[in-house]
Chain A
Amino acid sequence: MFVLVVGAGRVGSSVARSALAAGHDVSVVDEDPLSHERLEVGLEASWEDCGGRFTVGTGIEMEALRAAGVEEADVFIASTDGDNTNLTIAQIARKRYGIEHVIVRVLDPARSDWYAERHQLRTICPTKHAIEMFEAALSEAAGV
């Protein structure tokens, strides 16, 4: 499977590394060349020697997406630090390139739900998970 990851912060770089370790073809796009180093944390060899690809650019630049192989991608992961960038590039991946599996990080719970329902995107909302865990921890502390 060919996985394209746009945004290699803490989340994106970890997901890219584990996808590579699981035997997938992985291509990463990030606007910051330093993110390349983050990808290599814990690896014995360079990202490229391990089989990964890296392109410097932003997700709404078509040249960067094409250079990263968007036309062949089976899975598209939008994991930049901006909801609006993620939601835009996720829709580009789906509508322009017909990628079926589009996974997108959305911090805003309301839009995470709406885009999942209306545009059939697989949204991941870290905020919702954090809220649930805080609530569980609070209940625990209160001895309920």
Chain B
Amino acid sequence: MYVVIAGGGKVGLNLARELLGEGHEVTLVEGWRPRYLRIEQELEHAVQYGDATELWVLERAGIQRADLVVAVTGDDEDNMLICQVAKEKYLCSRIVARVNNPRNLQHFQLLEVAPAVSATDLILNLIEHDIPGHGMVHLLDLPDEQLEIIEVEVAEGAPAAGAQVADLNLPEGSLIISVLPPGERGFVPKADTVVNAGDEVLVVLDPGLEESITSQFNPNGAGR
């Protein structure tokens, strides 16, 4: 795979090292001369000097034949526009953009730059995942596909506790895809699988159905 990475900060440089180590072909583009010179000592011809928002710099880096373009500079506008031209002008099939300020995520979405990864949001999700008090966790949102995957803990006394999957009163547009009993391996349930209090379940659902799901599994929002 040929990967063009824009931005040679910690994220970009480490990404380049990992991908090169896995045998991929990589060109890293860095626009700050002192940093470029430092990286060049290590990566040699795999790094180029230039402003990756300029088309000729991207073309020199071989964006036309890139399988993947990763924009991880410290500037959200740069990352957005690099990915936008990669996708729309150079027809690159895969892009990944870094979001520095999570407030800018809406702009990435507006410009249809996806996936856009925000370290702040990732950490926030982990915090929400690990800290008690949240009966339900969003594991994955697929806005284009209009699907979400959530994890919810089955509370003591909830309508679903002790019931078979087939008998659960789940809304149209939702499906249990995994049952994770505490301390055991998760599995894909069958119709006669019994869901117990303390289990966690993964549910795929249409957006907006969260409340009718939690009303079955965890009506009071109790968490671990």
Contacts and interface: CB of A to CB of B under 8 A. Distances in A.
B187 interface: no
Contact of A118 (B53, B55, B81, B89): B89
Given A114-B85, A114-B89, A84 B56 contact: no
Contacts of B85: 111, 114
Given A88-B81, A95-B110, A96-B110, A83 B55 contact: no
Interface stretch (B72-80, B141-149, B191-199): B72-80
A60 B54 contact: no
A91 interface: yes
B69 to A, nearest CB: 16
Contacts of B76: 60
Contact of A91 (B89, B104, B110): B110
A110 interface: yes
A116 to B, nearest CB: 13
Interface string A46-69: 000000000000001110000000
B88 interface: yes
Contacts of B78: 84
Nearest to A108: B54
B74 to A, nearest CB: 12
A92 interface: yes
Contacts of A4: none
B107 interface: yes
Contacts of A82: 77
Contact of B53 (A60, A83, A91, A92): A83
Contacts of B81: 84, 87-88
A62 B104 CA distance: 9
B107 A111 contact: no
A60 B89 contact: no
Nearest to B56: A110
Given A114-B85, A118-B88, A84 B53 contact: yes
Query: Most A CB atoms within 10 A — which of B56, B75, B111?
Result: B111
Nearest to A95: B110
A118 to B, nearest CB: 6
Contact of B107 (A83, A88, A108, A114): A88
Contacts of A14: none
Nearest to B75: A84
A96 B111 CA distance: 10
Interface string A65-108: 00000000000000000111101100110011000000000001
Interface in B77-98: 77-78, 80-81, 85, 88-89
A85 B79 CA distance: 11
A19 to B, nearest CB: 25
A111 B55 contact: yes
Nearest to A113: B55
Question: Which 5 A/B pairs are nearest by Cβ-Cβ distance?
Answer: A84-B77, A88-B77, A110-B55, A84-B78, A85-B77
Given A60-B77, A110-B55, A111-B85, 9 more contacts: A60-B76, A60-B107, A85-B77, A88-B107, A92-B107, A95-B110, A110-B54, A111-B54, A118-B89
7 contacts: A60-B76, A84-B75, A91-B110, A92-B107, A96-B110, A111-B53, A114-B55
